[in-house]
Chain A
């Protein structure tokens, strides 16, 4: 059974700092990995999707990398801002089996302070 772990569970950084969020998964047979952002009481916003054949994806100040063989992904946030404060979730989709069934980590709660 696929298990997804995100460390740390919470992180507080000063504004302007570059930071890395970690996601690890136990079964490397994945089809893709998706990073999401969730604000308190809100739905999830998709940030980046990395297919299993890709090594990284970039969107603005965000860069996500994938090392499928070691079961790891990182989300790099450059020049963090208070507006980046949210919970960040990663989710993996298995390579086999029907449906786009994602397994989620429990998230990293990020706070960027002025």
Chain B
């Protein structure tokens, strides 16, 4: 079955620790995204990647880092510089044709999420 997987489902971080959230998709989608969801707020974009080995900051990138070495994978690292990391993290993907003039975006599909809690 095609889809997006995220692991782990729950993650606990100690102060000063870096943690990495996994996101894998087998939909052959070009673009992948990381969002953060906090109670009472809409989803906010952290980072996105339109092609392998390229990614851009979203609205709240400070304290986070990403890599895109493979089309299928887009891991997110929450560093110790992120002062308030407790949140629900969602990964998404979509078909995309990057940097070819007018955007030709398509539906975004989401994974099941990872809940990160700071101890």
Contacts and interface: CB of A to CB of B under 8 A. Distances in A.
Interface of A: 4, 31-32, 34, 36, 41-46, 49, 89, 91, 93, 95-107
A98 B94 CA distance: 14
Given A4-B42, A89-B42, A106-B41, A98 B112 contact: no
A102 B108 contact: yes
Interface in B89-105: 90, 92, 94, 96, 98-99, 103, 105
Contact of A100 (B31, B41, B110, B113): B31
A41 B115 contact: yes
B106 interface: yes
A70 B103 CA distance: 22
Given A43-B112, A49-B107, A99 B56 contact: yes
A98 B99 contact: yes
Nearest to B44: A104
B42 A98 contact: no
B4 to A, nearest CB: 8
Contacts of B50: 98-99
B113 A43 contact: yes
Nearest to A90: B42
Residue picked from A42, A96, A102, A103, most chain B C-beta under 10 Å: A102
Contact of B105 (A4, A31, A89, A105): A31
